[in-house]
Structure 1
Amino acid sequence: MAQAAFLHLAGAHGGAAADDLRPRSPDAVGRGAAMALGAHALLIVALAFGVSWKRSTPEGIEAELWAAVPQVAAPRAEPPPPAPEPRPEPKPTPPVAVKPPPPPDTSEADIAREKRKKQLELEKQKAAEEAEQKKLADKKAAEKKAAEDEKKRELAEKQKLEKAAADKRQADAAETARIEKQRQANIKNMMGAAAGTGAPDSSGAAAQSAGPSAGYAGRIKARIKPNVVFNADDVDGNPLASVEVRTAPDGRIIGRKLLKSSGSAAWDEAVLRAIDKTEMLPRDTDGRVPSSLVIDFKPRDL
């Protein structure tokens, strides 16, 4: 490179004329030597600069070489491309640590919500207790009212029974008086018939002839007695039951009524059943059957 530069400089000062190719005169030698020294100095500076500049790629310097035969310089060689830097190997990804869930937030909103929840629970419990107390109070009130209604009902029933008993006593007293009156009339009629004041073919004495004959009551009892089904030992004493019997003109029984109870319901029912079973009463000696008769029945007299 230094030689090429020197040749270049020498060619520059020599000119292109033919005279320049001729040997220099002695005066010209000194001038050429000075120029040569200057070129060398410049070359040294260029070399020093080129060596100290390590980071830049040195550029080629063209030098024109004067020779007898002109030559063309070869193309400048390009520096090889730099080798690719090796790619770094990927580092393994460390495992991601799973963080535990954060503790619950005890903020003021959560505290207020918890207080509200507890307050609602207390209100609900209080409402349930009040409803239970009301239910018990209503139950007690209903029981008290039911007891009062029952007491009123019992009192009304008692008053009703007492009134019915009083009415029955009054009716029995009136019936007893009527029976007694009928009995006295029957006795009077029978006594009148037994006296025989009227002749058999007499057409008068109606009062005596209207009553039944002396033995007619016995004939009626004799007709009813076989139909009585009762054990006299089942009743104390010899109680009397008076029955009014109503008959048709032919003697058929068309009704009966207990006028006076004997005090034994079993004996009263036995007498009424016997009359119903008899159905027909016998005629009297005059061929007639009284339309109404009062007959007394005693269990030990049959």
Structure 2
Amino acid sequence: MSAKPAPHLEFAPPAPPGMGRAWGVAGAAHLALFLALGLATAWKTQPQTLQAEAELWSAVPQAAAPRLQETPPPPPETEPQREPPKPSKPPQPAPELEPDNSLRDAQIALEKKKLEDLKKKEAAERQRKALEKKKKEAEEKAEKEKAARDKALKEKAAQEKKEQDKKKAAENAKADEKKRQQEQAQKAKQDKADEARADALRQENLQRMQGMAGASGGPNATGTALKSSGPSASYAGRLVGRIKPNITYPGEVVGNPRAEVEVRVAPDGTITSRRIVQSSGNKAWDDAVLRAIDKTEILPKDTDGRVPPLIVLGFRPLD
């Protein structure tokens, strides 16, 4: 009879070698003992004169049976039969080894710890993948936003450039139009001036032609008027005598310098402008003469009832 093997756990240490052979040898020894006992009980009793004693050894320690007491030989008529010796008790099988609960608990604890570690590792891996996924999504979102911003900036820059080009084209067109208008105005002005010169030339030729018909000048005369005309000999003196009382000069003049003034006059005698054509060398005397002309305002007419349009007058302090 072989012992029931203990339940083997997956991570339990292996059983010591040679257990199978040991159990086989023990079983064979028990079988041989049972056979020997069976043969011993099957013997027939014979008259013995001598007593013999035998010791039976077994694998399991057993107490020896009490020694048989000698009995007197029976009468010859009858031969009493001996009681067969009582068979010895069969050897008790070795108790089954109970499994080591501490080893099983340790194995279960190890399995639990491995399972917990595996769960923790899987949870950590899931968390890592979730973080990587979230990071990747954030990066993709940032890239998309950056691409959108870049696209918007490019579109804005292109729109601004387009508007600037359009504005510049409009300004150029406006400048070209203004230049064309200026050229047209200049051309019209030039044409008008040319027309005015041509008309003046026609009028001059016409007057010259008319004047030649009634001119009173000599054969060598170079004028274009019908008759010679000009201020009378005393007219310049009259004008100086009219202007000089208006001269106010408080200082003293060294010498008797002459200041010549060009005076332009309207047909009614109104002075329109005056200027120094030759200075006296004394600016104070020149300014005093100009102030006197401005104060005079209107010049008298000549003997012919006219006023020359341009007159040059000279003024000296001591004259």
TM-score (norm 2): 0.32
TM-score (norm 1): 0.33
